[in-house]
Amino acid sequence: MRVTPITTTGGIERRPFWNSYSRYLTDLRPDAALLAGETADAQENVFLGSNGEETAFLCEAVRGAGGVTMVQVESVVNGPLPQVDLPADRVVPLFTRDPSRITPRQVLMAMMVIKGIYAPYEVRSLNHGIGYAPAAIELLLPTYGESLGLKGRVATHWWLNPHPTLIPAIEAGSVRSIYSLGSEVGMERYAAARPKIFFTTPGGELLTNRLFAQVAGQYGVDCFVGATLQVDADGNSSTANRDRISGFGGAPNLGSDAPGRRHPSPAWVKAGKERAEALRWAEWPSIPFRGRKLVVQVTPTVSEKGGMPVFVPELDSLSLAHEGGLEVAPIMLYGDDLTHIVTEREIAYLLRCATREERRAAIRAIAGETPVGRSEKPEETLSLRRRGLVQTPEDLGLDLSQVSLDQLAARSLADLERISGGLYTAPTGEFG
């Protein structure tokens, strides 16, 4: 049995866990934690398996607050533990994206991301959320990406869960390191066999920590790629919709620029220069340079299942917040934190827009057959394309005849198992 750690928030007012972490050290000082682990020894040392996540932090916060921590384990063993960890919080199983479910539209968007963002910005370090479009990118890196000459130049350092869809890129030698926030079922032996890539213990256990991963995602990566359910005309997005309320995960933290970053990388510098150029900062005296993290939303204009418009005049979350009496509406990512939105039609380079009006024009230009897209003005879109604020696949020089499922380095879970040399074992059952 696994237990949820106690928090003082709940229901619709529940805030992103990432905000709570810092509050456990300030105004939400925890009195108690109920945690779960894999095994314990007679001395009550606890072994977590490979899902450490934020446990070390929760324990520390409760311990420092003089609170009580209770740990439940699967079994108490006599011999030595594989390693001594702190107690684990509830394991949230993460579901493998089966390559056989990737659609041609997702392949197209993935190619646009590689050709239109990863290549020109030289994105070296990055974070992918879980989803079919990111999975498609991962599976295209050793094929399409390599054909563009990107091997070893982009997407070398990652923080993300150990997605099986990264196996082909790892085996192709184009991945240098992966830090994980949690584990993924079936990846245990593969991660243990690739200790130079994954962060593992000497015994081969995957080291994971959700807090550390969030910090890495905030300061240590050039680019965040996320998805959403609704986007408004300003690019604000939320997964709190009238018919489906999903959590934000770490997106609010990851999907924004950390203003405290000071170390340069090619992507961070180029993004900063584009922003400075758009805002004409160069015309002012004495503006010290600062870079910018890339924050990319990848979304079809209408949902893959059900064909619901993703681009809407007003987010459901605003009326949900109003009805629920919330002081602040649950926005996952604010539009002015984004640098790019990618749909199956075009990429909006929001970073290159000088004004809010220009950003709105770029967004309606890429929004297709949706309420937002219907206010597109063809003349305006042409001008935005000429200036590089909006780019179609053709503008990017992307050969549409190449858009094919055959580009994927693996077409099935069985392919992934094979490419892993039998080290990865796909779990059985249903995957979302």
Interface pick for a second copy out of 31, 314, 369, 399 (rule CB under 8 A) = 314
Interface pick for a second copy out of 39, 153, 199, 383 (rule CB under 8 A) = 199
Task: Please give the Cα distance from 225 to 338 (Å, whole number).
Answer: 10
Structure tokens at 3: 């237990």
Q: What part of residues 106-165 is at the interface with a second copy (CB under 8 A)? A: 124-125, 156-159
Per CB under 8 A, does 253 bind a second copy? yes
Which DSSP string corresponds to 254-305? HTS--TT-----HHHHHHHHHHHHHTTGGGSSS-------EEEEE--SB-TT
Distance, C-alpha 323 to centroid of its chain: 30
Interface pick for a second copy out of 78, 305, 328, 430 (rule CB under 8 A) = 328
Structure tokens at 265: 């990388």
Q: Residue 61: name the closest of 8, 2, 3 by CA.
A: 8
Interface pick for a second copy out of 177, 246, 303, 319 (rule CB under 8 A) = 177
Q: What part of residues 28-47 is at the interface with a second copy (CB under 8 A)? A: 29
Shortest Cβ 81–a second copy spacing (Å): 13
Shortest Cβ 343–a second copy spacing (Å): 20
Interface pick for a second copy out of 256, 375, 392, 412 (rule CB under 8 A) = 256
Interacting span for a second copy (CB under 8 A) from 97-105, 218-226, 361-369, 377-385:
218-226
Per CB under 8 A, does 5 bind a second copy? no
CB 170 within 8 A of CB 427: no
Shortest Cβ 60–a second copy spacing (Å): 7
Per CB under 8 A, does 330 bind a second copy? yes
Interface pick for a second copy out of 10, 196, 306, 429 (rule CB under 8 A) = 196
Task: Please give the Cα distance from 372 to 309 (Å, whole number).
Answer: 9
Task: Please give the Cα distance from 246 to 105 (Å, whole number).
Answer: 23
Per CB under 8 A, does 211 bind a second copy? yes
Q: What part of residues 53-112 is at the interface with a second copy (CB under 8 A)? A: 56-57, 60-61, 63-66
Task: Please give the Cα distance from 376 to 380 (Å, whole number).
Answer: 8
How many residues bind a second copy, per CB under 8 A?
A: 87
Per CB under 8 A, does 334 bind a second copy? yes
Phi, psi of 173 (to 5 degrees): 80, 20
Q: What part of residues 279-308 is at the interface with a second copy (CB under 8 A)? A: 284, 286-291
Interacting span for a second copy (CB under 8 A) from 101-109, 191-199, 339-347, 418-426:
191-199
Per CB under 8 A, does 315 bind a second copy? yes
CA angle 330, 268, 381 (to 5 degrees): 70
Structure tokens at 147: 């054909």
Per CB under 8 A, does 12 bind a second copy? no
CB 294 within 8 A of CB 274: no
Give the amino acid at 267. A
Per CB under 8 A, does 331 bind a second copy? yes
Q: What part of residues 362-381 is at the interface with a second copy (CB under 8 A)? A: none
Shortest Cβ 66–a second copy spacing (Å): 5
Phi, psi of 178 (to 5 degrees): -140, 120
Task: Please give the Cα distance from 165 to 416 (Å, whole number).
Answer: 7
